[in-house]
Amino acid sequence: MAIDPICKMDIDEKTARFTSDYSGKTYYFCCLACKQAFDAEPEAYVDEGI
């Protein structure tokens, strides 16, 4: 399982509909709103030790 860096929900990589690639990693999101929040400011979310 991956963790949605925005809302911390568990996301199954196999069924995730919303993903973003950033800094060589793939991030998974529960919904489009979380993806858009990440895409707008990814550096605000990737340094939290996820």
In the complex, the residues that contact Zn ion under the rule CB under 5 A are 4, 6-7, 30, 34
CB-nearer residue toward Zn ion: 4 or 27: 4
Least distance (Å) between residue 41 CB and Zn ion:
15
The burial of 4, by beta-carbon neighbours within 10 Å (0-12 exposed, 13-18 middle, 19 or more buried), is given as buried
Tell me if 19 sits within 8 A of 27, measured CB to CB.
Answer: yes
25: three-class secondary structure by DSSP: strand
Least distance between Zn ion and beta carbon 1 (Å): 13
Task: Tell the smallest beta-carbon distance from residue 2 to Zn ion (Å).
Answer: 11
